[in-house]
Each structure stands twice: as structure tokens, then as C-alpha cells.
Structure 1
């Protein structure tokens, strides 16, 4: 696809016409407590070596037991910096930074830093958030997060694109006497709104560099992608899918939360259908007691087909 401002990570994911695949942290599956760092890095290296195009980290500032998980636990920016230092070419993604809970200057500076340290591999999913108690913890009015998302999105872009930017909003003001450095490796980092982010599809199509969505039933996904193409042209569409391999490679699917348990043959056909709908990238959440085996199986039997 190749947008003019796209960085190396964005090109890795979207420049080809085929479907690409990324793996979501925590790769060890430990999403309620801190995962073993050495094991996570070993699996990240393995995922890159067997052909995954991206590694995606979630942004979950707090642990809310009622919600059920704490993401990959470690803060997004230092974690992706550590991953960058231990990998070579794989794209690094956020899925997704919750903009109403973060100051835009901090996001702009942190993301540009990771982008520089990774030689341009960072792609940013950005979201409005979905864990209710976090808004009061950060002093954010949940009813205004649609506006907060837009204002911070625009401010982050300004911090990257402009020297000594001037912006004023609910988060504060920049009056042209301060710059935010470093700047990213390209004019701006790619920003992919996640879900609806409390915005219209037209706004997402006009302002985003793609659309990152959750798992959807196939007929719904096909309709979403068709509508997206009408609004956004070639800008990429990305989804996240939970994958559990059945022991029987021919097993039919069982529904899981945000995904399926099925045989590898069904998954191969499933992703081929999604590619036919025009899907550009899948963030895979693998569920297996042997994470390395699952990554290898997915790479050998599915990634290799695309």
C-alpha cells in the first residue's frame, strides 16, 4: 500500500497485497501476572524467525480483576523498547494505546523514542478505552472520551509533524515556545484507531492510517471491510483473533471469546476467506500450553500459505 509517511513497520505489514500475521503479547499466555521476561523474549525471537511480521503489545495501565486480564502487564513503551533491542526486522505494534488516559506529549515523545530506537518499526493502534474504573483513576470524564480521543490524536500528530507546535485543548496548551523531541523516523507515525473509538467511520477513514478492529463474525467482517473500502480506499483493515489449535487437524470450529478452537486445516481455510474479503493483517492471540510449538505450527501451516 505504501503511504508516503509510512515507516518501516507499516511497510512490513501493508506493502504487499497478501494477508500478513502478527502475534500478540503475552506470548506465554500469562495475562494476570507479570510474564517471565526471558521466556517472552525467547518466544518473540522465535516468532520473528518463523515468519510472523509483527509483535503487538497492549496498553493496560491498571489491573481490574472483573475485566479478567492485565494485558502483558509491563508498560507499553519500555516493553517494546526491550523487544526492539532483542529482534531485528519484525514490526512492533500497540493494540492499543488508550489516548484519553495518556497525555499527548508523553505519547508523542515515548512513541517517537521507540520508533527511533527500533529504526522505524513502530505502528500505533490507538483507542478510547473500555475499562470503566480507569477513567476516574486518571481523573478523566468517561462521557467526554470521544472528544478527548480526537483532541489527543490531533495533538500527537502535531508534535511529530511540527516544530514548536501550537495547540490548546482539555489536556493543556502548547504556545509555540516548546518543541517535542525526538521526532519519529518519518513525518508521522501511523495511527490506527481501534474499534469505533467513539468516532464516526468517516472520521476514522479520513484521519486514521488504517482501522484496527476486534474479532467479528465472518459476514459482519466482510460487510465492515466493504464499507471501509468505500470510505478509505486502500488504507488497511486489521483484526485480532484468538486461536486455539485442536489436536485433530480436521476439527471443526468451536467458538471462544474473540476467536475459535479448531483444527489447523479449518484455520487455513478461514484465513484464506478473510484474505478474500480484503483483510490486510491479523493479530493472533495463540492459546496453547506449548507456546513455541503453537507459533511454529501457525507459521508452518498457515503463515507459509500466504
Structure 2
């Protein structure tokens, strides 16, 4: 296999990546689902209309998760719809938003399937896919796939290398524990703009040096959003960037679950042991500004744990928050009529 640890980045050439990420800038995205599934699919209705409103706004991205199996013991069903089917649905009904996978479980999927699905979405959307890649945190899923949870780190590295070869090399020659290709066949389609941006999620059982060399960006958990928390997150991002080969810019993204209240002046307060931040607009703007000052480039905001109708909360985000951290003027998506 060729060496993919070269610090290369999707950079400015990819519409989805360019819309989300710029040095010294922070953009915001909308994390789906808008309501937490608790046994009734009705709570998921209406999300598409909200996403369409976000598509016509300064929001940079819409995020969807990859959760193959529901584990009641985990406490959160996460994403109910299949990641790739849902992204295809969203791609067909939007024109501007980056389509962010947050994140595909690279250890549970064969990289041929991952590559085929990812490049298909990227082509159908005109180059709007930004692919978060995770090693999997729901241990109960692994036995069902016949995969060892404890050795997922090695499988993850293999899957990333396969993914790069399959999507960026013509008739690749690949051999590892995941299978063997002898260079006689190829994977189609290739990405719309030469590369699908790959954003590593958390540590994914890897060393920071490996992530810095192999990822196009890093999706990192925010830690505390109070007090010195944003400064600590910024220090973590800065230390990681010191490891990037050649000093190239690679973005850092994070996320936060919020309960946005109508009162702009409501001070931020933690809910659910700090898992959710209850806040008014001004408190959220302050947090996002501190993240931007700390070198964070994108914040995915989720409203699923709030008590208000999600359409109301997102409308408030569109009006009062997104214009302060708007999507960037990256390359235009390809206007293809499939």
C-alpha cells in the first residue's frame, strides 16, 4: 500500500470542507436528530423542513450519526435512520449545507463498502460530504459483527488506509487482514473533487501523531464549556496542530448539546450532569466566540435534549446565532442533475 501519512488535506478544493472550515474562523452546524427517539418514530417527523431552513441560512453543515444497533443500556438511541440512506435523502433536498457524518464507524464496516457509500454521496451532492470516522464506542455492537472490540484500533488504521487507497488510487493494490486487492479492479465512483475529507473522531484508539498525519481534521469532544474549559480545549487543539506534518492548517471541530431558551439573557447552566447546556442566545454566542478565539473551527449544535419544539429552537439559532458564525465562501458544489 502507498503511504497515506503525508499530512495532505482536502483543503480549499472541496465544497463541503471549504464551507465548514477556515483558519481563524468558526462556523456552526446542526446535529441530527432534532428529537431523541424513545420508542415513537413520530418524534422524528418534520426534521426535513427544519433542515431546508438551515440550508437557506448561514449554517455550514448538517450532521448525522452512524449507530447500527440500539443498546438500551447505553441510554441514547442516537441516530435511528441508516447514516448513508439518510445522507442521500438530505443531499436530495438541500443545495448548500455540507453533509457531515458524525461519525461513520470505520471498524464495523468493510472499507470497500465505506468507500463506495462515501464517494456516491459525495458525487450525488456535488462534493458536500465531510466524513467523520470513529472507531466505535458502543461495545455491544461488536460481537454482532463478529469483530473484537479490544483490537479495533488496528482495524481502524487498516480501514482508513484502505479507504484512502480505494478512493484516491486507480486500481489499487491492497493486502491486509481486511482482504486483498491485486490491482486488477477499481472502485467507482471516485470523489467529486479528488478526495473525501476525513475527520477523525476523538482518539479512535490512535496516537495524536497518527491522527495529525492521516486526518484532514479532528473532531474532539469539548470537555467543560464553563470557566477555563474553552481555553483548555484550545490548548489541546494547539498541541495537536504542532504534530501536523509541514505545519499545514487542519481544522478542529467540536459539538455541544444545548437547550436554547427564548430569554436571550438566560445564563448558561448545566443539565444532566453537564451533558446539556441550558442557555440564552448571549451565553451561547459567548461560548462560540471563546471557541473561535481558542482556534476551534466548527461547532455542531444539537437540540434533541431541549424541551421546546425543535423547529422553534433552530429558528432562533438561524436568526440569532448562525449569522455571527456564518458558513464560509468555499468552492461551489457541482450542479449535477442525476
Give yes or no for TM over 0.5: yes
**Structure 1 residues 302 and 186: alpha-carbon distance in aligned structure 2, compared to 1, 3 A threshold:** same
Q: Which moves more between the two structures, 219-228 or 61-70? A: 219-228
Equivalent residue pairs, number: 305
Q: Give SS of 1:143's match.
A: coil
Cα distance between partner residues in 1 of 2:118 and 2:182: 22
Q: Superposition pairs for residues 174-193 of structure 1, below 5 Å?
A: 174-193=181-200
- Which of 260, 264, 279 aligns to 2:296? It is 279
Cα offset for 1:36? 5.9
Cα distance between partner residues in 1 of 2:262 and 2:19: 32
Q: Which residue of 2 aligns with 1:235?
A: 250
Cα offset for 1:166? 1.1
Cα distance between partner residues in 2 of 1:177 and 1:11: 34
Q: Which residue of 2 aligns with 1:114?
A: 121
Q: Superposition pairs for residues 227-306 of structure 1, below 5 Å?
A: 227-232=239-244, 233=247, 234-256=249-271, 257-286=274-303, 287-306=306-325
Cα distance between partner residues in 1 of 2:241 and 2:42: 38
The reply to whether residue 53 of structure 1 matches residue 70 of structure 2 is no
The reply to whether residue 80 of structure 1 matches residue 87 of structure 2 is yes
**Structure 1 residues 119 and 36: alpha-carbon distance in aligned structure 2, compared to 1, 3 A threshold:** farther
**Structure 1 residues 135 and 35: alpha-carbon distance in aligned structure 2, compared to 1, 3 A threshold:** farther
Cα offset for 1:228? 2.2
**Structure 1 residues 187 and 194: alpha-carbon distance in aligned structure 2, compared to 1, 3 A threshold:** same
The reply to whether residue 127 of structure 1 matches residue 139 of structure 2 is no
Cα offset for 1:32? 5.5
- Which of 99, 103, 106 aligns to 1:99? It is 106
Q: Give SS of 1:243's match.
A: strand
Question: For each residue in 1:208-235, what CA deviation from the matched residue of structure 2 results, as whole angstroms up to 9, or x when unmatched?
Answer: 0000012212243122122123223420
The reply to whether residue 11 of structure 1 matches residue 23 of structure 2 is no
Q: Which runs of 5+ in 1 are unaligned?
A: none
**Structure 1 residues 5 and 155: alpha-carbon distance in aligned structure 2, compared to 1, 3 A threshold:** farther
Q: Which residue of 2 aligns with 1:221?
A: 233
Question: For each residue in 1:82-135, what CA deviation from the matched residue of structure 2 results, as whole angstroms up to 9, or x when unmatched?
Answer: 101001111001000111100000000000000110000000000000001111
- Which of 180, 200, 204 aligns to 1:197? It is 204
Cα offset for 1:187? 1.9
Q: Give SS of 1:101's match.
A: coil
- Normalising to structure 1: TM-score of the pair? 0.94
Question: For each residue in 1:50-84, what CA deviation from the matched residue of structure 2 results, as whole angstroms up to 9, or x when unmatched?
Answer: 32110011000000011122222111111100101
Cα distance between partner residues in 2 of 1:146 and 1:33: 35
Q: Which runs of 5+ in 2 are unaligned?
A: 1-8, 326-338
Q: CA RMSD in A?
A: 1.8
Q: Which residue of 2 aligns with 1:149?
A: 156
Asked whether the 8 Å contact 1:126–1:193 carries over to 2, the reply is yes
Cα offset for 1:173? 1.2
Asked whether the 8 Å contact 2:12–2:18 carries over to 1, the reply is no
Relative contact order, higher structure (CA 8 A, sep 6+)? 2
Cα distance between partner residues in 2 of 1:57 and 1:102: 17
Asked whether the 8 Å contact 1:27–1:43 carries over to 2, the reply is no
